[in-house]
Amino acid sequence: MMNGPACECGEELRQTQASSENMPQKKLRKKKKITAGRIATYAMLILIAAVMLFPLYYLVNISLKSYDEFLTNPTGLVRDVQFSNYSQVFWEMNVISRFFTTVVLVAITCVLSLVLALFAAFPLSRNYFKSSGKVMLFILASMFFPGSLVANVIILKDFLGIYGTPAALVVIWVSGGIPMNVFMLIGFVKSLPRELDEASFIDGCGYFRYVITTAVPLMKPIIATLIMIKAISSWNDFLGPFIYMNDPMYKTLSTGLYTYMSQFGAAWNKFAAAIFVVALPMIVIYIFFQRYIIEGLASGAIKG
Amino acid sequence: MFGRRKIENQCGVPQAGAAAPAEKKRRFDLNRWQRSSLAVKPWVAIVGTIPALVMIVLFGLIPAMVNVVVSFTNYNGLVETMKFVGLRNYVEFFTVIGRDVLPAFWTTIKYALITVIPLQILAIGSALLVNNRVKGRNFFRALYFMPNILGAVVVCFAWKLIFDTRWGPLIGIFRAMGLETAFLGDPKISLLCVSVITLWANYGFYMTIYLAGLTGISHDYYEAASLDGASGWALFCHITFPLLRPSLTICLWLAISNALGLTDVILLTTNGEYGTETIGFYIYRTVMYNSNTQGLNAAVTIYNFLFVSTIMLLFNKFIRRKEVEL
């Protein structure tokens, strides 16, 4: 919005002018204010920002040190930058296979939980069959069913026999996501015009084809939000894969990191590299889509 | 094309093969037509709904019921030896494992007490800061929110390094002040350290909710109040805070329920040692590693559910009363 040299006082002045153009009445009040308050505001903002960044800085800093430098100078700034930790960690932790395991599982989860929820939300919000109100109530109430680790393990182990496999994890993730997705989708489907349904049906479009070809493109924003929420929460989930997918063949990035960390002693320079490698994909995605991510996650929390 | 055909239909122009014969009768009845969409046969819609319902029943309803059933048995991983034992597990909760599990409840309450309120203070404070017309508003907002997309493992391990007593940066500062502590390994402050981690990781999320609430507050209120001579703290107390009530309710609800269910952070930082075993972690540990007492574990789960729902119901009642006052 504003460019040029960043000086706090000049910045302040320009800011006042910019805002006064928009709302002329505020000009008087803003100009009266002492700049000390604004300087304090900036100081606080930067202080909190420093606190937020410090752990990341410390991780990167320590991950660039060789083991000798790490032993002699653990806390100071890195003197001799080395990337050997990263290359070591990359192979030792099987980053590539962990990454693909996570991507595939998260993708399956997102698609399944969305498709199932979509075909549940549509008839429920349109009253396509009798007692759909009761079904809707049941699905919404299921958000408050007490989750039970004991029972989940028993069902997966003794009834279904898939405990420990990726299928168990996907099933747990999908079933966890459905009620919220249905809830959010119902709200959105209600805003779609009913005439659209009727017009397509008259044209001979089947129900499933109608939902996929006509409704889904109209629901892009909510679908993107829901997929994003589910993808981020399952990507970052640790307990789920740790409990339900304990097959050593399959590990997500987060459980892979956990086992990697528990294998070795206290080689924190390597650990730091490992942590940063695991964090990196999310950081990169976040840098590009931060606005959508923040809004999506917040809206999910407020409505859900 | 699309619209015209629809209109033609409403006017009653017959259209061969477009609709099922059963609907031909109704085609001319405009009122009924508009009331419901007749083209979807109920069973088609039901078929679409069933997969989602199966998932919810199988992993939402049935676990809840299985848990209740198992809590009345001596299930130990083998279905063959499963026997009905009545309320024994519920009694053993107090007699046999009371020494472990009651402190876990107490730890959970302590954790919630030292986390929930500071979380709201930090979140409201930073929301007010970011809500100022400052340069880089979006940058700060994004930065404060960042830990939420990092995931528990990354956050906890990063902070484990910060709290490390040999390689961490904090221990040097504490030593310089003459304090010797083991942070996460010190039973006196380990819970506080866990709380610091979750504060750092989560307040940005609550800040976003408060920011949404703040942008909803009309500027007119502030103008009116400042004409009356109110400023600073008074503005916050009498305008901002009361109008943030809805956001506060959401945030408190989320924060309390998250705090009462805290498991992964404990597992990743202290592994339940040094007096940080919350009830969530206790249940996790017993289910995973004491699987011969699953009946008892199920009873603990029920007690935990009662515990959490009591607190949440009290919270609901309290907040509702407050909102009536407003």
Asked, for residue A244, whether it belongs to a domain, the answer is yes
Asked, for residue A139, whether it belongs to a domain, the answer is yes
Asked, for residue A291, whether it belongs to a domain, the answer is no
Asked, for residue A199, whether it belongs to a domain, the answer is yes
Handedness of CA B189, B193, B196, B198 (dihedral sign): negative
Are A133 and A250 members of one domain?
yes
Q: Tally A–B CB contacts below 8 A.
A: 293
Residue B118 one-letter amino acid: P
Give the closest of A129, A182, A278 to B153, CB-based. Answer: A278
Q: Which residues of B193-209 are buried (b: 16+ CB within 10 A; e: fewer)?
A: bbbbbbbbbbbbbbbbb
- Give the list of residues 6+ apart from residue B213 with CB closer than 8 angstroms, or none: B127, B243, B244, B246, B247
Are A128 and A190 members of one domain?
yes
User: Mean pLDDT across the stretch A273-293?
Assistant: 85
Cα–Cα dist A101/A107, whole Å? 10
Asked, for residue A144, whether it belongs to a domain, the answer is yes
Nearest CA in chain A to B133: A15
User: Mean pLDDT across the stretch A114-130?
Assistant: 82
Nearest CA in chain B to A295: B208
Query: What is the predicted pLDDT for the residue at B29?
Result: 47
A219's tokens? 């629901």
Percent of chain A with pLDDT over 70: 87
At residue A13, does pLDDT exceed 70? no
Predicted complex ipTM:
0.79
At residue A231, does pLDDT exceed 50? yes
The alpha carbon of residue B177 is apart from the nearest alpha carbon of chain A, in Å, by: 17
Q: What is the pTM of this model?
A: 0.78
Nearest CA in chain A to B171: A75
CA distances from B148 to A11, A13, B3, B126, B144 (A): 31, 34, 46, 16, 9
Are A103 and A177 members of one domain?
yes
Are A21 and A166 members of one domain?
no
Which residues of chain B does A53 touch, with a Cβ-Cβ cutoff of 8 Å? Answer: 143
Q: Which residues of A77-96 are buried (b: 16+ CB within 10 A; e: fewer)?
A: ebeeeeeebbeebeeebebe
The alpha carbon of residue A99 is apart from the nearest alpha carbon of chain B, in Å, by: 15
Are A156 and A195 members of one domain?
yes
Please indicate whether, in this complex, the C-beta atoms of A155 and B58 are within 8 angstroms of each other.
yes
Query: What is the predicted pLDDT for the residue at B4?
Result: 40
Whether the CB-CB separation of B323 and B244 falls below 8 Å is answered with no
CATH number at residue A158: 1.10.3720.10
Please indicate whether, in this complex, the C-beta atoms of B284 and A239 are within 8 angstroms of each other.
yes
Give the closest of A175, A275, A297 to B60, CB-based. Answer: A175
A224 phi and psi angles, rounded to 5 deg: -60, -45
Q: Which residues of chain B have pLDDT under 50?
A: 1-23, 25-26, 28-30, 33-37, 324-326
B183's tokens? 């942070």
Instruction: Find where tokens 């809707």 sit.
Output: A136
Give the closest of B45, B58, B146 to A286, CB-based. Answer: B146
Query: What is the predicted pLDDT for the residue at A98?
Result: 86
Are A79 and A113 members of one domain?
no
Instruction: Find where tokens 């001319």 sit.
Output: B28
Instruction: Find where tokens 């409403």 sit.
Output: B10
Give the closest of B75, B135, B287 to A149, CB-based. Answer: B287
Query: What is the predicted pLDDT for the residue at A104?
Result: 92
Asked, for residue A235, whether it belongs to a domain, the answer is yes
Domain count, chain A: 2
pLDDT band at A304 (very low <50, low <70, confident <90, very high): low
Which candidate in A149, A209, A255, A277 is best for mutational testing of the B interface (most B CBs within 10 A)? A149
Which residues of chain A does B167 touch, with a Cβ-Cβ cutoff of 8 Å? Answer: 62, 70, 74-75, 266, 268
What's the whole-number average pLDDT of chain A?
78
Cα–Cα dist B191/B266, whole Å? 9
The alpha carbon of residue A282 is apart from the nearest alpha carbon of chain B, in Å, by: 6
Which candidate in B41, B81, B167 is best for mutational testing of the A interface (most A CBs within 10 A)? B167
Please indicate whether, in this complex, the C-beta atoms of B48 and A204 are within 8 angstroms of each other.
no
Rounded to a whole number, what is the distance in angstroms from the first to the last CA of chain B? 55
Domain boundaries, chain B: 2-35, 93-325
User: Mean pLDDT across the stretch A146-150?
Assistant: 79
B159's tokens? 């902070």
Which residues of chain A does B298 touch, with a Cβ-Cβ cutoff of 8 Å? Answer: 148, 150-151
For residue B281, the cross-strand partners are none
Are A24 and A68 members of one domain?
yes
Q: What is the CA radius of gyration of chain A?
A: 26
Query: What is the predicted pLDDT for the residue at A135?
Result: 82
Are A151 and A245 members of one domain?
yes
Query: What is the predicted pLDDT for the residue at B146?
Result: 87
One DSSP character per residue, chain A reads: ---S---HHHHHHHHHHHHHHH-TTHHHHHHHS-HHHHHHHHHHHHHHHHHHHHHHHHHHHHHTS-HHHHHH-SSS--SS---HHHHHHHHHTTHHHHHHHHHHHHHHHHHHHHHHHHHHHHHHHHT-STTHHHHHHHHHHGGGSPP-HHHHHHIIIIII--TTSHHHHHHHHHHHHHHHHHHHHHHHHHHS-HHHHHHHHHTT--HHHHIIIIIHHHTHHHHHHHHHHHHHHHHH--HHHHHH---TT---HHHHHHHHHHHSSS-HHHHHHHHHHHHHHHHHHHHHHHHHHHHHHHHHHHH-
Q: Which of A67, A85, A103 is the last residue of a domain?
A: A85
Phi-psi region of B104 (alpha: psi -120 to 50; beta: other; left: phi over 0): alpha
Please indicate whether, in this complex, the C-beta atoms of B144 and A48 are within 8 angstroms of each other.
yes
CATH class of B93-325: mainly alpha
User: Mean pLDDT across the stretch A215-219?
Assistant: 84
Asked, for residue A300, whether it belongs to a domain, the answer is no
Are A238 and A119 members of one domain?
yes
Asked, for residue A304, whether it belongs to a domain, the answer is no
Are A226 and A138 members of one domain?
yes
pLDDT band at A108 (very low <50, low <70, confident <90, very high): very high
B258's tokens? 């998250």
Please indicate whether, in this complex, the C-beta atoms of B150 and A236 are within 8 angstroms of each other.
yes
Nearest CA in chain A to B147: A52
Among A270, A99, A56, A285, which residue's Cα sits nearest to residue B154? A56
Cα–Cα dist A79/A73, whole Å? 9
A264's tokens? 């070795």
Question: Domain limits at A68?
Answer: 8-85
Nearest CA in chain A to B161: A268
Are A77 and A205 members of one domain?
no
Q: What is the CA radius of gyration of chain B?
A: 28
Q: Which residues of B260-279 are buried (b: 16+ CB within 10 A; e: fewer)?
A: bbbbbbbbbbbebebbbbbb
The alpha carbon of residue A290 is apart from the nearest alpha carbon of chain B, in Å, by: 6
Are A81 and A103 members of one domain?
no
The alpha carbon of residue A91 is apart from the nearest alpha carbon of chain B, in Å, by: 19
On the CB side of B200, how many CA atoms lie within 13 Å of its CA? 25
At residue A27, does pLDDT exceed 60? no
Q: Which of A20, A55, A85 is the last residue of a domain?
A: A85
CA distances from B201 to A64, A129, B17 (A): 24, 45, 60
Rounded to a whole number, what is the distance in angstroms from the first to the last CA of chain A? 34
User: Mean pLDDT across the stretch A90-105?
Assistant: 86
